[in-house]
Amino acid sequence: MMAEDKSSREEILERVTSHLADSVLTLPDESILAEAGETEADLYKDAEHVRLVLSEASQVLEDVSRRLSNMGHVMNPNYWHRDHRGFHTKCLNCGSSVSFKPATHEVQGGALNAPCPATNEYRIPKRANL
């Protein structure tokens, strides 16, 4: 029925699941709810769990940026480099690096070890009376 070589099997699996996944996108709302109801015990709870996954992911990067900002580091929030180990970026002032692992939400790097030494070098003093 199917080709015996490994790559063909993987391609076929990919083709089938991709075709099925695409079909989910075009389903009307009532159909997706009815279909999900056949496999999920609590639709509302399940749906809200998906929202939670998204909300938490949105907050994680913000928390990392805020943590670094509190140490005086300046990061470009849009320039995280991604490789197989996680996301990486560097402080625009001192160049120290930080990496973030999505699977564990673990944050590592030299930027977390010390406040940014370059923070105050070129800054104009801000309003001091606050």
Q: Does 101 bind other proteins (CB under 8 A)?
A: no
CB of residue 70 vs other proteins: minimum separation in angstroms? 4
Chain center to CA of 112: 20
- CA 91 to CA 97: how far, in whole Å? 6
Count of CB atoms situated within 10 Å of the CB of 12:
12
- CA 117 to CA 124: how far, in whole Å? 16
Q: Does 114 bind other proteins (CB under 8 A)?
A: no
Q: Does 77 bind other proteins (CB under 8 A)?
A: yes
Q: What part of residues 22-61 is at the interface with other proteins (CB under 8 A)?
A: 23-25, 27, 29-33, 35-36, 38-40, 43-44, 46-48, 50-51, 53-55, 57-58, 60-61
Ramachandran angles phi, psi of 42, nearest 5°: -130, 100
Q: Does 84 bind other proteins (CB under 8 A)?
A: yes
